[in-house]
Structure 1
């Protein structure tokens, strides 16, 4: 899909959105209005050369400015940007106020926002704050609103300390597997969409053995929600918190 069509889909999604997209939880918030206002501005200013071969020039992709608090991708090139939507998972040793939730990985679908990130970074930065409020499509391979972007993979944990990103979605879409290890983090910015308990940290990951493809680092940025409550009072032994984030993949 070329970019002008993608932007048109963004603007038209309110006419073809899933039922839960316009429910009471959404209620056309200020952030949603701002999102569609930004989309409309880009559509109005789109140039006729949007179909040109360099319309999706991934070399233009850059991390959000706040990510300067993390080690930079020095000498590396952007490969993909994915919108992640899923859950952060936690466990509790007991349901008392004397215990605190312990992180137990994450599970998320990844949607390909690469061309949007190359051309419209301000749109991409807004996606997680809206996406975490939307239920994942029941069809595993369906595109995801509000950007109608295609599934590009899945994020989960291979073991307790190894985040995995499987970018092989169909026999025709085999983009590799990224095994990683956390190397750094910073707290989400104060204006991040917090959900009920706060936005999870921004992360810097490097690849480890088992990676398939020329990937070297991954950044989790633009996080929305995902943090647990401060204590385990009244909570089950295992629980999930909805979240969304953007993931930037870099390679040589």
Structure 2
């Protein structure tokens, strides 16, 4: 029987984990239960798949999920990479009263390479943010992400107040480009999204602009989990972070 390596890694990592890992990072939830159920189903289905299919990262098989139809379709473009993003959405409050609403001041996230999962197991990928937003990032910034042992692909942050940047140049041997982007469209996350404490951040369609290194044309943020701010600043500090996760599609 042939099983995709990341499935094997996931089972091995979970089995070997210290018991207290379930007290925090892997705190039991309905999302976690659904995720492991899907892992089990995929392991069983691997019996009927050839070994070559598990080593394929054929990006031609990758497509933006049909349920993201509210965003502009990537017509004429090809998916280059897909990443699981894990980080924080950042906010400020002018005061701590209910008369003030939080102001978004960008985001910071690590991007982990989920391209092969998107090509082979798209339904699995869509579920990953629901679990990932509760898992702490590795202390070593170049380490793999515990969920499915994903390799670091890059970093996401804001170049300035209106420019989301995606830096995919992580090491001297991994120079995959830099994307300077601008927001073209956003839609609310569906009610089925994992809300976290205050809700799931919006789904986005971004296009690249001057400063981009590489042939990238668009970025999509979908399948968001958590990240939204509270409705008001009541009881909140002047600056705060909300944990989140999402799937990012990079198109050229």
Q: Which runs of 5+ in 2 are unaligned?
A: none
Partner of 1:172: 173
1:221 aligned counterpart, secondary structure: strand
Q: Where in structure 1 are there 5+ consecutive unaligned residues? A: none
Does residue 36 (structure 1) correspond to residue 36 (structure 2)? The answer is yes
Q: How does 1:64-213 map to 2 (within 5 A)?
A: 64-213=65-214
Q: 1:172 & 1:139 partners in 2: Cα distance? A: 18
Give the TM-score normalised by structure 1.
0.94
Cα separation, 1, equivalents of 2:53 and 2:30: 34
TM-score (norm 2): 0.94
Q: In 2, Cα distance between the equivalents of 1:19 and 1:83?
A: 26
Q: Report how many residues are paired.
A: 250
For residues 203 and 21 of structure 2, the distance between their equivalents in structure 1, rounded to whole angstroms, comes to 26
Q: Residues 205 and 64 from structure 1, CA distance in 2 versus in 1: closer, same or farther, beyond 3 angstroms?
A: same
How far has the Cα of 1:33 moved from its partner?
1.9
**What is the distance in 1 between the residues matched to 2:24 and 2:218?**
39
Counterpart of 2:22 in structure 1 is: 22
> Structure 1 110/43 Cα, relative in aligned 2: closer, same or farther at 3 Å?
same
Rounded Cα–Cα distance in structure 2 between residues aligned with 1:220 and 1:124: 13
- Cα offsets for 1:18-74 (capped at 9, x unmatched): 776411574432221221121122122224533359722111111122210110001
* Cα distance, 1:244 vs structure 2: 0.4
- RMSD of the alignment, in Å? 1.8
Q: Take 1:3 and 1:208, find their aligned partners in 2: how far apart are those partners?
A: 40
Runs of 4+ in 1 over 6 A off after TM superposition: none
Distance 1:121 1:186, change over 3 A: same
Contact 1:17 1:145 in 2 (8 A): no
